[in-house]
Amino acid sequence: MYTPTTPIHQAATYLKQRTNDFKPQIGIILGSGLASLINEIKDAQTVPYEHIPNFFDCSVAGHSGVLHFGYLEGVPVMCMQGRGHYYEGLSSEDIATPIRTMKLLGVETLLITNAAGSLRESLQPGSLMLISDHLNMQGRNPLVGNNDENIGPRFLGMEGAYNPKLRQQMLDTAETLDLPLTEGTYVGVLGPVFETPAEIKAFQILGGDAVGMSTVPEVIAAHHCGLKTVAVSMITNMGAGMTNETLTHEGTLEGAKLGVNKLQKLIHAFLAKQNS
């Protein structure tokens, strides 16, 4: 898929050597406050990002910067404990490289999680939202620049970026668990500042249901290289101006504790279905 000189090939070659040619089927990206899922990976092998050629360093609390390879519900997975954000000063290539490396290692499906703020009164902290679409308000796109046709097309339609079949499987899984799961549109912003009350009102008018500082470039990069993607937001707080609360990252991490058990239960049951 890639020539041996590309950053992705270099990263993949190193990871194959480190993991004895482990072949993951599903890639997972863990959002803020969601790292406890890694403790449930069986036969785990860990590789810090700092050891991987062309990977970035994580600088955000709650994002440790470690890759975990192993099995969840019998499914071989590659799990990112820590993601990159544009607000850290990372480039589009920094953010796309892990996604494309997953593809090269054999990943077919990407499961993305994030912590997000609610734009709807009905989505209270601790709720889970299945992302059906997004609004890219980050002012940038990971595909800007020279395009490698070996990775994906120059011009990319975004219909189906949040894979309809996987979304239905996730909804069916939640129903089986009697776990409330609503679909909605995710608004991706640049950060690192939280949104103003006026911006929250604007995003509501535009049709947004939740807001966060990640996920959108990952989904674009994944769709570009042919990965099937499904994404779930864990609501950690209400948007600015919707309550009297002052938003902080520490508050986001605390809010994540409200829904982490539900999200882990959903992920386990979803993966079990992939292996059935």
Q: Which of 68, 85, 223, 224 is catalytic?
A: 85
Q: Which of 35, 115, 210, 221 is catalytic?
A: 115
User: Rounded to whole angstroms, how far apart are CA atoms 135 and 184?
Assistant: 11
- Is 87 catalytic? The answer is yes
Q: Which of 9, 49, 88, 240 is catalytic?
A: 88
C-beta separation of 230 from 172 below 8 A: no
- Is 127 catalytic? The answer is no
Q: Which of 35, 221, 237, 240 is catalytic?
A: 237
Q: Which of 9, 32, 68, 221 is catalytic?
A: 32
Q: Which of 12, 96, 102, 213 is catalytic?
A: 213
Q: What angle do CA 57, 137, 252 make, to 5 degrees?
A: 55
Q: Which of 118, 163, 214, 233 is catalytic?
A: 214
Q: Which of 9, 12, 49, 63 is catalytic?
A: 63
Q: Are strands 109-118 and 210-212 parallel, antiparallel or unpaired?
A: antiparallel
User: Rounded to whole angstroms, how far apart are CA atoms 253 and 199?
Assistant: 22
- Is 224 catalytic? The answer is no
- Is 214 catalytic? The answer is yes
Q: Which of 36, 249, 269, 272 is catalytic?
A: 249
Per DSSP, which regions of the chain are E strands?
Answer: 26-30, 42-48, 66-72, 75-81, 109-118, 128-137, 182-189, 210-212, 228-238
- Is 88 catalytic? The answer is yes
- Is 237 catalytic? The answer is yes
Q: Which of 40, 54, 87, 268 is catalytic?
A: 87
Name every residue whose Cβ is closer than 8 Å to that of residue 112 and which is 6 or more positions away in sequence.
Answer: 28, 29, 31, 215, 218, 219, 229, 230, 231, 232
Residues with a catalytic annotation lie at: 32, 63, 85, 87-88, 115, 213-214, 237, 249
